[in-house]
Structure 1
Amino acid sequence: MEYRTVRERSAIGIREVVDRQDVASWWQGALGELCGFVAARGLRCTGPIGGLFASELLQDERGEALVFVPVDGDARPVGRIDPVVVPGAELAVAIHRGPLQTIDLTYGDLCVYAARHEIGVDGPLREFYLRGPLDVTDEHDWVTEVGWPIFRSNG
């Protein structure tokens, strides 16, 4: 577990309100669409692909999800793809290794940690895909950084 300040960044993304049971298939389709767009337009990625997920998605089984690719330059909206600004945040971060079907265990650990230390704040949960389906074929080799929004004092 570590703390991290993540700065605001420009990206392209696909945002939608989804049911929790559909999030994995939605994520896979959005990721493929974004990566195809980046390749077709010759855009340069400026950081890891990521996702923002409203806490309602975990709590109420339905909520807003955003998959994004940080890029340089301007990209005009096309279909479901829009330019987005991914907001900065203070995060408690943990590494999840393996398929996304078991990522809820890492989220659970982060939730308990934030609650125990009374540092959790409202805001979307974050994922950064450090090694994923575009990098390796076996999903057990995936590495995802999971971020929980927190309050962190500088003093």
Structure 2
Amino acid sequence: MSMSADFSAWSQLTAQLLRERRWDEIDMEQLIEEVEDLGRSERNSIKSQLSRLLLHLLKWQYQPQRRSDSWLDSINDARTQIEDKIEDSPSLQSYPAEQLDAAYARARRRAANQTGLPLSTFPAVCPYAVADVLDEDFLPDNAS
């Protein structure tokens, strides 16, 4: 059965074949790809949440007059999502630090687009330590 035809059916069949140790009937290449995709999906989720978190921290800092509960909700939700992924996969503990610069570059561009402020308003290098970014009590001060 082709995975592209019905992923759910393919995964159930593959699980059954694994349980029954029917190794020769398993599409090993597809199984390997799917397992690799699972790990990639976890990392992509952290990267996406980190970028969202940084975007809202920048907006919080550089547009204090527009601060809202929805920004706080986004900040807190992104932190929770990252924390949950790391709790589920402790090997990803250092991943936010590894991705901080790339996530910040995306967040910086998005902040400029969403606020209408010039890109140069926002520091070229992430002004926040990763520990602060992930700290549930951290919010940046107003831009000076």
Q: TM-score over 0.5 for the alignment? A: no
Q: In proportion to residue count, which structure has more strand?
A: 1
TM-score (norm 1): 0.28
**Larger Cα Rg: Structure 1 or Structure 2?**
2
For normalisation by structure 2, the TM-score amounts to 0.29
